[in-house]
Structure 1
């Protein structure tokens, strides 16, 4: 199994605007459940610490294999979500690793 973790600092002029944007990110990625072959589980969380160095949202997704993760990158539903969220992020960090 490969775990895919992505963290975003989202755009917004205020904490409430960033929270609204982060919520849109969460909703958009959660819509992928059941649509991506090889996606075993997906969790999206929003930061509650509110420290200035924290990211606003995190995605943790488990894939059955590296091939499934690679296919996800170009899957039409994933591309739809990416397009819908275009321009909403300031920074993005990613880690992929073999788990379990």
Structure 2
């Protein structure tokens, strides 16, 4: 199994703007499991502590294999989600590892 973890620092000018952006990202990502069969599990979390140093939003998703993750990456619904998310992001970090 591959665990895919992505963190985002959002580009909103203040906490209220970043909270709105985080809500948009959460809604966009949590809709994907119903659309993309390769997603085994998906969780999205919004930071609740130390906003000056922590990242704002995290995605944790599981895939049966690296091939399933790669199929997810190019799936049209995932690509559409990236078009919603990218304009809201200042920085992105990710790691993929075996579980």
Calculate the TM-score normalised by the size of structure 1. Answer: 0.94
Q: Deviations over 1:22-41 (max 9, x none)?
A: 11111100010222122110
Q: Which runs of 4+ in 1 moved over 4 A?
A: none
Residue deviations 1:14-71, cap 9 Å, x none?
0111111011111100010222122110000000003311110000000011000001
**Mind listing any 5+ residue stretches in structure 1 that lack a counterpart?**
none
Which structure 2 segments of 5+ residues have no match? none
> Matched residues in 2 for 1:47 and 1:25: separation?
13
Q: Which residue of 1 aligns with 2:46?
A: 46
Greater fraction of residues in helix: 2
Give TM-score, length-normalised by structure 2. Answer: 0.95
